[in-house]
Each structure stands twice: as structure tokens, then as C-alpha cells.
Structure 1
């Protein structure tokens, strides 16, 4: 099977100061070597000064530098390492080894999945319940974040709102392909095949949204559409204007509008084919 990440990700990594408190780390990522999704980790400095890392990517020299810069030179400043769903966990072990005092956070089922693969790190918080009470971590984290475990999502998605900067951080709840930023330093490695076009058509956030909404309605939310709708409505009630996805470009300024376009049927609790 072709590798998910480049063999040498460092020169292909884009470090971006999204806000004074948030740095994104974007790089190439593909499935089967045939679909270019891109990958993105998000580093957040809490109001306490501690750092939270969402969707960890390879811990290369540029990433270490970004961590130290956001932490003000404190290499031990990473306090939370977070897998926002059961797929975005591949480098948790490396980050836990580098920052042994960090708390590990992830969704229900991920500790068991990792244990079967021989990865036995203990998780400090496991998200398993939708609604406000299901997203509690500790006083320091809860002060800055709202959390929603998205009911019915096949990847057991957990969405996070960083309240100080009005930024929604999520993994696979919504994409924003194509992955322009993530392949900006490796343009020759990006694929442009039929699978790329098909997946972009069902995950778009602007233009004609019919196929995106159908994909969300019939595929993503089918296991528990009522619960999924409630989770989406709770997220819609959060105050955000920017959305950071793991796959595709960050939606700055108009993130809430794009979110509402993607999830219109779920917000209305009815499809409009």
C-alpha cells in the first residue's frame, strides 16, 4: 500500500499563524496514492499558556520549531494531544513520547483500536456522549473550548470550538477540497484523477451544494440521523467565523456560512432533493 504521508515531510510542510494563538501545520496526505486529501494539525495556545495539539502529524524539525514558537520557547508546553476521531491518531505515540506529561484525548473506540495495533498509551479523556456534559476535560481546557461528540458520525467525530478566537477545529466533519495549501510545496505530488474530482464534488463548501448535502444525508449521517442533526445544531449555535478542516483549505472569515450551507438539510431536519 502506498504511504499516507511523504517519506520526507519536512520540506513539504506549510506552517501558518492562523491567529496569534493558533498555528496550523499543513502537508501532503493521500489515500492509496490516488486521492490527494492533504493533512493538517492544529496547534492552539490556551489562555493559560499551555498548548493543545489536534490531529498530530509527523513531528519534524519545522513542527518542533512551530511548537516552541507558540509556546514561547517552552518545549514542555504541550499539555493536550487530541485525536478528533478514530482516524486522526497515527502520530499520537510520537507526540506522547516527546511530551510525556501531555494528556491524551480521543473518541470512544480509539483506545481499543490502537491497542489491537500494539499501541497501548492510556487515554486520559475518552469522548463518548453528545451534548455539553459529554465534552468535559478539565477546568483549564473547558475554559477555552466547547466540545461536541457528533452522534452517528462513522468516524466518531469530535468537534472543538476555541472560544477566544472563534475558530471551529474538526477533522472529518466537513472537508474543503481541493487541498491547495497542503500541496503548495509539493505541487508535483498532487493527483488530479477521477477519484479526486468525485470526492471534491461531494465535499465542496461553495457553489451547487446538492451532492455535498446528499453525501452528508445518505452516507455520513445514516446511522443516527436524528442524533447527528442535534449535534450539528449544537455546533451551529457556537460563535465561530473560521473553520479548520484536516482535509482541504482553512475557511477563514466565512466558515460559519460555509458550515450552514453544507449542513442545511440537517439544520432543517429535512432533505430537499
Structure 2
């Protein structure tokens, strides 16, 4: 079975709300840790589609885009890690504008990835002044965590009170993302370890955020306070299950040391 056939067989496509569809897939970090991966597609009030953290562009993913109207207007790489499928999506939807953080294009060039122009680049200097397209800006609040190790962009979809992120909040084990594989995402030493460190219960993830991801703690804390002030109920992470409700309380607990 080819890689794409395998991804087609294991991709979980779900309508989270009338406006939001997720494409969830199995993903091994460092070929050991069952993180899972997730793309999030938001249908704007204009009918335009915004795709966050694109995963493999399988035929099923293409069909899903078509069923949602087909007009991919924005492709978002929310940090310098979640970009590996940027090239295929941009090639398929050439009119889409790309949103990402500083350093992303340079990293892609160094890795030998396709040269994709980043149309809207968030930097530490412009994070409070950058102008995004009107239909996107009308529905989303954006906070750039320049103090995060991966240069994270966080998004609030205001109409659905949904917080969309890449590596800010994890919710392991990745049950949904591994649900078609026949594998237990919390099995083995690594599975149990990740559930302990990157689950939403206990102090593991709180410590991980403080010691591993917040490289500039002052800037990181400022951004965390911005997100803590947002009005959201649901959290859609890239890694692990969707937090369906009380997401704001989860965020404030995990980021308490920064608040």
C-alpha cells in the first residue's frame, strides 16, 4: 500500500460544526510518538475556505474541499513545523493566499521544500499592525507567539467561538487520529509518556509549556494573556482530540504560570 493509499484509508473527516471540517490523520513524531495530525477547514461567511495546517492532499481531502464549495482562498501554516504539505495544496489551489510566521520560507528553502511564497508574514515587529484580507480578518482574531520555540500563530474563529492552534495546546492520546489504524495511541511506554506529558490533565503539559516551548517567557506570557482574554469554548489542536467544550478553562489552567 502506497503512502497516499494508507493516508486515504486512515484519514478521519468530520464536520465539527456547520462551518468547520477537520481532516485527522495518524502521525508519528520522531518515528516514535503517536502525536496524530489535523488540518482544519473553515468556511467563511463569504464562502471562501481557510485551510489550517494542511495534511496530505488525498482524493478524499480534495472531495471534501469540493463539497464545501471548492474555493480555497487561504492556506495557513501556523508555525515553522506545520508546513510540509503546503506545496501540494498551493499547487492545487493556486489562487490561495498563504499566511505564516517569519522564518518559514527560509526554513523551507533550507530543507529543500517547494518554494511557496508566504503572502502574509507575521513578525515580532508587525504582529499588532499586519493587515489581513477583510473577509478573513472579520472572522478571526490572530495572536502571534513570537516567544514560542516554533513561532506559533493562534486563531480564534469568532462566529463559532473556536480556538485553532498547532503546537500550543495538545490533547493526547490521539484517539480520533488513530481511530482507523487499529492501533492504540496510548499503548507502550511512549504512548503512556506522551499522555502524561501532553494530556490536558495533571501538571505535565503545564510544565512542558513552561520549560520546552516558551523560549522568550516575557513575550510568550504577553501572548498567553491575549488568548486568555478571547471568548472560546472549543479548542481544535493539531495533535490529539478536539476539546469540545470548556476550552477557555483548559487553556487558562495549562497556561496558568504565564497568566
TM-score range, shorter chain: over 0.9
Aligned residues: 257
Change (3 A) 1:135 1:90: same
Alpha-carbon deviations, 1:150-194, whole Å to 9, x = none? 131001010001111110000000100000000011123757232
- Secondary structure of the 1:81 match is strand
What secondary structure, in the 3-state scheme, does the structure 1 residue paired with 2:94 have? coil
Distance verdict in 2 for CA 1:245–1:131, change over 3 Å: farther
Matched, 1:178 2:173: yes
Superposition TM-score, scaled by structure 1 size: 0.89
Query: 1:141 Cα deviation (Å)?
Result: 1.0
Equivalence map 1:27-42=2 (5 Å) = 27-42=25-40
Answer whether contact 1:34 1:191 (CA < 8 A) is retained: no
Question: Secondary structure at the residue paired with 1:158?
Answer: strand
Aligned runs of 1:249-260 on 2, under 5 Å?
249-260=241-252
What CA distance in whole angstroms lies between the structure 2 residues aligned with 1:263 and 1:135? 26
Cα gap change, 1:227/1:158 in structure 2, threshold over 3 Å: closer, same or farther?
Answer: same
Partner of 1:91: 85
Structure 1: runs of 5 or more not aligned: 268-273
- Tell me the residue number matched to 1:21: 19
* Aligned Cα root-mean-square deviation (Å): 1.9
1:11 to 9, 12, 31: 9
C-alpha distance after superposition, 1:18-75 (max 9, x if no partner): 010000000100023311110000000111110000000111111111111222xxx3
TM-score, scaled relative to structure 2:
0.93
**CA distance in 1 between partners of 2:186 and 2:26 (Å):** 11
2:127 and 2:144 in contact (8 A); partners too = no
Alignment match of 1:212 (pick from 205, 208, 212): 205
Q: Is the 8 A contact 1:28 1:36 kept in 2?
A: yes
Asked if the contact 2:185/2:191 (under 8 Å) is kept, the reply is: no
Counterpart position of 2:152: 157
CA distance in 1, matches of 2:174, 2:96: 30
Q: State how far apart, in whole Å, the 1-side matches of 2:158 and 2:38 are.
A: 20
1:233 alignment partner, one of 221, 225, 228: 225
**Which of 164, 170, 194 is matched with 1:169 structurally?**
164
Alignment-derived partner of residue 67 in structure 2: 69
CA contact under 8 A between 1:43 and 1:53: conserved in structure 2?
yes
1:140-155 map, 5 Å: 140-155=135-150
* SS at 2:207 equivalent: helix
Which residue of 99, 116, 125 maps to 2:110?
116
In 1, Cα distance between the equivalents of 2:219 and 2:106?
Answer: 24
| 1:130-149 equivalences in 2 (<5 Å) | 133-134=128-129, 136-149=131-144
Residues 264 and 6 of structure 1: CA distance in aligned 2, closer, same or farther (over 3 Å)? farther
Could you list the per-position Cα deviations for residues 81-116 of structure 1 after superposition, in whole angstroms to 9, with x for gaps in the alignment?
110000000111100110001001111100101122
